[in-house]
Every structure is written in C-alpha cells, then in structure tokens.
Amino acid sequence: MNTKNTQQNAAIVIGAAQLDDLVKVLRKDGYATIAPTTRDGSIVLEEISSAAQLPLGLVDDQQPGAYRLSKAKKPAYFDFTHGAQSWKQFLFPAKEKLWSAHKTAEGFQVEASIDAPKYAFIGVRACELAAIRIQDKVFVEGEHVSNGYAQRRKQALIVAVNCRRAGGTCFCTSMDTGPKVKDGYDLALSELTRKGVHEFLLEAGSASGQTILKRLTGRPAAAADFKAAQKASDKAAQSMGREMPKGAAKTLANHLQHPRWQDIAKRCLDCANCTLVCPTCFCSTTSDSTSLDGQNAERWRTWDSCFTLDFSYIHGGAIRRDGAERYRQWMTHKLTHWHDQFGVSGCVGCGRCITWCPVGIDITAEVRAIAKDK
Amino acid sequence: MIASSKSESDTTTLDAMTPVPFTITKRTQDLADTFTIELEPENRSEGFVFQPGQFNMLYAFGVGEVPISISGDPAKPHKLIHTIRDVGAVTHAISNLKKGNMLGVRGPFGSAWPVEEAIGHDVVIVAGGIGLAPLRPAIDAILANRTQYGRFVILYGARSPSDVLYMKQLQTWRGRLDTYVDVTVDHAGHDWAGNVGVVTRLIGRANFDPHHTKVLICGPEIMMRFTIQELTAQSVDKDDIYVSMERNMKCAIGHCGHCQFGGHFVCKDGPVFPYGRIESLLQVRGL
C-alpha cells in the first residue's frame, strides 16, 4: 500500500473544516479511523468518528519526566507532538491471542488465531512512520513473518502529519527520521495557518492515497502552499533542543563496562516505562491459559520488557541480575545491536523514553556522558 | 487452521508460532531427573528433518512451551528424539506424559554444529551434564561418516556417576577402536573406576592435533568458559571452537527479544556459535 512515489505527489489544499470529509471517506471505506484525541489530560490514540474529536488548539510541554497539555495560541489540530502511546499498540497490540487448542480423543488440536482490523491511522508523525518501518523489519522482512502484524500492516492506511513544532524531548533531526515525512505514507497532511485561514496541504504518497485524494474537495496546491509547509517544518527542525551524539552505536559498543551504567542504575527504577512507550521496542512474552475444565487452552503474546528479572531467566537464575545490566541491555540494543540485527538504529528520536521516564533519564545525555571517555 | 489435520505441504506454511501436535511413541527414564521421549512426526513423509545442534519448542497442553535441543540421529528423521531434564513447570508436565500422549512441536530452529566443515579434521566433543544431549546428533553424524574425519574425541563430565547421561551409549562409543572417550565426574564413591575432577583436565591428554581440530562444546556457561581457556592454552584457534549457548526463549524466530546476546539472537543466529564470533561478549557479565 505504501509504495514509494517517485513522481511529483498529487496534492490539494483543503479547508480545516474539510478534515472531517477525510475521516468520513475513510470510514466509508471500512477503515477504523484511529487518531489522536484527549483523555486524562494527555494525547491518546483512539478510534474517532469525526474530526471534531481531534485535539484542536492544544500543545504539549514535554520535559524529562514531565508532560503537560495546554491551550495553544493558534487553534491548530496537530501542534501537540505526541503522547505516550504510539501506533505500535495497533499493529503490534500489547496483548494478542496467537492460537487456541482444545482436547480431542487423540490428544489436542491447535487453531491459529488472527485479529486484523482494517486501520486508517490519522496523524502519524515522521518519527512514528520511521518506527513502523523499523517494526516491519522485525516482524515482516526477516526470515519469519508474524502473520497478525503482517496482515494488519498490509491493510493499514497511513495519513501522516508533518510537525510544525518540536516537542520538548524530541531529537528526530539527529536520527534523520523527521520532522518531515519522506515516504512510506498514503497521505500526508501539512497544517497551514495563515492570516486567520486554517487549511491543510494534503499530499498523496501512494496509489490508494491518490484515490482518496480525488474524492475530497479542495483547491489545487500552489507553490506558496508547499513553501509555507516547508517553512513550518524547517522551523520545527530548527527548534529541536536535543540531539543524539554522533557515533552512539560505537560509543556504547566500546563501553560495555563503563561505570556510567552503575550510575544510571542508581537513578533507574526498573519500571519499564521506556520500553513500553518506545514505538520500536518489540520484546514480548507468551503466556498460556487453560479453561477450568482443562479442555481448552490459549496462547497469548503480551508486551514484555528487558527491565524485568524474569526476562532473562533460565534454569539456574536470571542472566541480567542487576539494574545496570538491564539498562545496558535496553540502551545497547536500541542504539548499537539494532544495527547488527536490522541494519538501522532502533531509535527514531521521538523522545518518549525521556518524557515518560519517572526520573527523567535522558538517553541522549547518557550517550554523551559515556562518549566523554573515549 | 487445524494444525493436526493438515497435509504435509500445509504444515510447512503454518505460522511458525503454532505448534503441531506429535504423538509420543516411547518414553525412557535416563537419570533421576532426566528422560528421553520419542515422537512420531505425523503427516510428514520425509520425517522430521533437522541438523545436529538445532532445537524445537515443545508445548505441553495447557502448561506452556520450552526450547529443547534435538538429541536423535539426524539420519533417522522418522523418530524425533528429545532428552529433557525435569527442572521447571513445563518440563515437569512433559515428564508426566506417557506413550500415546501428544506434545506440541515447533521447529526445527537455529544453527547447527559444523559437522560438514569438520570433515578432514580431528573432532573433539566436550560435553557437561545434559549438554551431551544436543551433541549426540553430531556424534551420530560423525560416526556415520567416520572415515572422513581424523581423530575423534569425546570428553564428558557429569556431577556424579549416577548423573552420567547415555551411559550405555558412552560405553559403546568407548568400545570402538576409532573413537577416544574420556569421562570424568565431580565426585564419586569407591565403586567408580574413572576420573574425578573437572572436564577441562581431560583435554591435555586427549592427543588431538590442535591445529587441525574442530571442537564442539556444550554445557554450563562456566564449564564452556574454562574449556575454551584450556583449548586456547593448547593453541586451538578460536574459530575452530564451537559453543552452544543457552538463553531464555519465547518465540524461537527472532521476534520476542528474550534470547539476545549482544547483537545476536541465540534462537536464529545460534544456539551454535563459532567462539570467535562471541568471544568479546562472553567476557562481559550479564549480557
């Protein structure tokens, strides 16, 4: 679906009020339209039935260990960046039934299970799109395919949005993943607020995106619209207050025994928040359950975290017994070993692990601290 | 999809996460806590084809799944054989299964012992405890082509004489004039005529050519570490040493992340690694 578009993208400009038409068209096509909305003072991703449910006029203040939503000066739809959740929870749900088994006269039979709703994701940021493509490498492009993920992913339609504002913990420019989407989307939105006129530049990035675009009413996009969109995106890039130091992969690989790991462990609560909010973390565990009469059994796959002791348990005890070893596993996997395994970094620079760390550990600052000792 | 009723071609297209029920045709108790089961691969005319060193995920109905190495003869794929130590909830449930019961199987997964690459070389097998089970398919394969190899050495260490796995088979191998077998135990009573001490002490006198040898090691990580130290002292090249690693595994297909060892997934890049590839990782505690 997300075939790379080498031609000039088809593009139109729609009024902000027409955003709802896009939601309607997608719903008519049978998509579950998932988009950002607000709940409990935070941006969450949920199914919406109308554009009115989008978080209009809100911005977020994200800092290490802190997140607040507040009213924006401009009534824009997408000037917040992102909340704790990512699209991972739909493509790779936190809990998924893999199969069920039932007893038979000869023994038992196993029946594979797939739950694959047809999703349209509205408001996918560049970093999040990069994260989806990283999880594709894990679940689809390797030797073995995760059938559930593959089916959900294949059906998913992606409406990306270009960031006009950098969040307080963002560092996507240094990871080369944003703030502007490059490819891999079906449609891309750029929000334009000029002289009291609220519009969206809507670009198609795939054949399906193009088909949808044709069903919407708008005016042809002009050079000034592209220029305004680019200017907003450049502003986001320039206002990014963080960056991942260059050569992070090597820095960590060369310092597996660095004293900094112990220092981080003193602050780290082993809470696993960073792994759960990370849009690329893919570790999972399986659990089996049985019906009370013992006739039926099910296997469920659930998100897991390398921060638990149980994660590395083998007969005789856990491999990673102290917090420093577990933090090192997470950070070296993300920034170093991911390259060995999948040819890319596992970090997209979204900053979620910094914001949602209860003690505000900053992955970029930790790399910098370790890099100091060459 | 009903896994058990699938035809041969369909079984291969099944999701790698879905176990296929196999029937247990034989169960033998090897040691107080260790047993061997034979399974019949149904609907597979070619049998259960695997390479020595590979493992399966075994599922006990309603209890759970564990990674277990295959310990049968690769030349006899119509019998799938696993030797299992009863140490946890799942292995205990499998231990309670009898002939005629079913066990779910996913696999085979992982890398293999370098049986082909070892042709023309001396081969030294170093096993500790139940580590002999994953090595038995390699021993079978080498003995089946015995003339292709140089000196063949099997060194085995167990905790006590009553913990010696495959005792009868060790005696048979030891009786062969083309195979050198040396066994040691950590402690023993007066009825033991063999060696007492660690397995590393058997290496020096095994009389193989350190420059033309492939060494295959499986056992507790600490035993493998000391064995490698001794082999290196005997000037065996690190790329001629192969070890089988153990890590927690949930999926066996590189998706769950549990078995990571540095940049490697033990489930698909291992479990058998040339030592040279993981040397630096083995030096760091808690990786």
Three state DSSP letters for A81-137: CCCCCCCHHHHCCCEEEEEEEEECCCCEEEEECCCCCCEEEEEECHHHHHHHHHHHH
- Residue A1 host element (H or E): none
* Residue A226 vs residues A11, A185, A202: alpha-carbon distances, Å: 9, 17, 10
Quick one: B220 and B184 in the same domain?
yes
Structure tokens at A4: 């790379």
The reply to whether residue A109 touches residue B3, judged by beta carbons under 8 angstroms, is yes
Q: What does the alpha-carbon distance between residue A221 and residue A224 come to, in Å, rounded to a whole number?
A: 8
Does residue B210 sit within a domain? yes
- Residue A198 host element (H or E): strand A197-204
A374 falls in which pLDDT band (50, 70, 90)? low
Does residue B249 sit within a domain? no
Does B218 belong to an annotated binding site?
A: no
Quick one: B98 and B131 in the same domain?
no
Domain that holds residue B52: 3-109
End-to-end CA distance of chain A: 45
> Does any CB of chain A come closer than 8 Å to the CB of residue B263?
yes
Number of domains in chain B: 2
Helices (H), A102-239: 126-139, 147-155, 172-175, 207-214, 223-238
Does residue B158 sit within a domain? yes
Quick one: B78 and B134 in the same domain?
no
> Tens digits of per-residue pLDDT, B231-246?
999 999 999 999 999 9
Domain boundary among B226, B244, B262: B244
Q: Is the pLDDT of residue B6 over 50?
A: no
CA A293, distance to chain mean position in Å, is 41
The reply to whether residue B2 touches residue A109, judged by beta carbons under 8 angstroms, is yes
Quick one: B170 and B95 in the same domain?
no
Mean pLDDT calculated for residue range A331-335: 98
> Tens digits of per-residue pLDDT, A125-182?
999 999 999 999 999 999 999 999 999 999 999 999 999 999 999 999 999 999 999 9
Find out whether B222 and B243 touch, Cβ atoms under 8 Å.
Answer: no
Find out whether A298 and A102 touch, Cβ atoms under 8 Å.
Answer: no
Q: Is the pLDDT of residue B147 over 60?
A: yes
- Quick one: B208 exposed, middle or buried, by C-beta within 10 A (0-12, 13-18, 19+)? buried
- Does residue B254 come out as left (phi exceeding 0), alpha (psi in the -120 to 50 range) or beta? left
- CA-nearest of B48, B53, B64, B219 to B131 is B219
A369 half-sphere exposure, CB direction, 13 A CA radius: 13
Q: Is the pTM of this model over 0.80?
A: yes
Quick one: B13 and B99 in the same domain?
yes
Structure tokens at A279: 């849009």
Domain boundary among B57, B78, B109: B109
Nearest-neighbour CA in chain A from B54: distance (Å):
16
Quick one: B56 and B127 in the same domain?
no
pLDDT score for B14:
58
| Full strand arrangement of the beta sheet holding B122-128 | B195-196, B180-185, B152-158, B122-128, B213-218, B241-244, B272-274
Quick one: B27 and B139 in the same domain?
no
Amino acid letter, residue B83: T
Q: Is the pLDDT of residue B45 over 90?
A: no
Nearest-neighbour CA in chain B from A218: distance (Å):
44
The reply to whether residue B255 touches residue A144, judged by beta carbons under 8 angstroms, is yes
- CA-nearest of B139, B140, B176, B137 to B155 is B139
Residues from chain A contacting residue B101 (CB–CB below 8 Å): 107
Q: Is the pLDDT of residue B8 over 50?
A: no
Question: What pairing do the DSSP bridges indicate for beta strands B195-196 and B180-185?
Answer: parallel
Nearest-neighbour CA in chain B from A241: distance (Å):
31
Rg (CA), chain B: 19
Does residue B273 sit within a domain? no
Quick one: B87 and B134 in the same domain?
no
Find out whether A160 and A129 touch, Cβ atoms under 8 Å.
Answer: yes
Mean of all residue pLDDT scores within chain A: 95
Residues from chain A contacting residue B37 (CB–CB below 8 Å): none
Is the bond preceding A179 in cis, omega lying within 30 degrees of 0? yes
Strand locations in A208-295 (E): 219-220, 284-290
What does the buried/exposed string (b/e) look like for A205-243 if buried means 16 or more CB atoms within 10 Å of the residue's CB?
bbebbbebbeebebeebeeebbebbeebbeebeeebebe
A279 falls in which pLDDT band (50, 70, 90)? very high
Does residue B98 sit within a domain? yes
> Tens digits of per-residue pLDDT, A5-59?
444 679 999 999 999 999 999 999 999 999 999 999 999 999 999 999 999 999 9
Quick one: B57 and B87 in the same domain?
yes
Q: Is the pLDDT of residue A4 over 50?
A: no
Does residue B74 sit within a domain? yes
Quick one: B151 and B97 in the same domain?
no
Residues from chain A contacting residue B104 (CB–CB below 8 Å): 101, 108, 110
Quick one: B127 and B97 in the same domain?
no
The percentage of residues in chain A with a pLDDT greater than 70, rounded to a whole number, is 98
Q: Which residues contact A9 (CB under 8 A, 6 or more apart)?
A: A188, A203, A204, A205
Q: What does the alpha-carbon distance between residue B254 and residue A359 come to, in Å, rounded to a whole number?
A: 31
> CA of B17: which chain A residue's CA is closest?
A98
